[in-house]
Amino acid sequence: MRTMIVILSLLASLGQAAAQETRNEVTRSTTPAEDSKPNSDAVPDVQAFTSQIERVVLLRFKNQADILEGIQRMVKEQKIQNAVILSGIGSVRGYHYHMVSNTTFPSKNVFVKNPSAPADIASMNGHVIDGRVHAHITFANADGAFGGHLEPGTITFTFAIVTIGVFRDGLDLSRVDDKNYR
């Protein structure tokens, strides 16, 4: 009987943890005219931007710190304009990210949030453009790897480390993160 109670308790807690994950699809259009705009021959298929890394900033997050909010705060405090997120490792006690969910414009995204699901940070990359953080993160747990665009609400468990390479001033990256420049 006692074994049955333990098994039922475990099943109930697993069901509760799974029930805490939410998924919401959101359409992110700029304007209908911009979203329906075809690719332009004036925009090259690929562009190269050349610079050098001026310095490397290593951020360490303690238990229960919000990773995206911490990166944004440090970007301001460290006066980082343009940079590349080189890596990220650590563990989280809960996550929030979004990923693209369609292949036509307007683009749609699925936002996935689970405030009480532990996972390792398998990798992180992205960039800072004009002081704005655009970070992607990959999580791993016993079920596999998953992730996407980092959102507020991804909370550190043991610790996390994010390494940022800061570009020299004068690099114009204004069109790099523009989905309508196509």
Delimit the domains of the chain by residue range: 22-167
Provide the mean pLDDT of the chain: 88
Q: Tell me: the pLDDT tens digits for 76-126?
A: 999 999 999 999 999 999 999 999 999 888 888 999 999 999 999 999 999
CA-nearest of 103, 105, 99 to 180 is: 105
pLDDT for residue 95: 98
Close Cβ partners of 6 (under 8 Å, ≥ 6 residues apart): none
The pLDDT, as a whole number, for residue 12 is 47
The pLDDT value recorded for residue 141 is 97
pLDDT of 5 > 70? The answer is no
Question: Which pTM value belongs to this model?
Answer: 0.84
For the segment 17-40, the average pLDDT, to the nearest whole number, is 74
Tell me: pLDDT of 155 over 80: yes
- Residue 3 pLDDT exceeds 80: no
139 has a pLDDT exceeding 80: yes
Instruction: For residues 138-164, give the mean pLDDT.
Output: 98
Most distant CA pair in the chain: distance in Å?
73
Number of H helices, E strands in the chain: 3, 8
Question: In terms of Cα–Cα distance, which of 64, 116, 129 is closest to 90?
Answer: 64
For the chain, percent of residues with pLDDT exceeding 90: 63
Compute CA 104 distance to the chain's CA centroid, rounded to the nearest angstrom: 22
Fold of 22-167: 60s Ribosomal Protein L30; Chain: A; (3.30.1330)
**3-class DSSP assignment, residue 55:** strand
pLDDT of residue 2: 60
pLDDT value of residue 154:
99
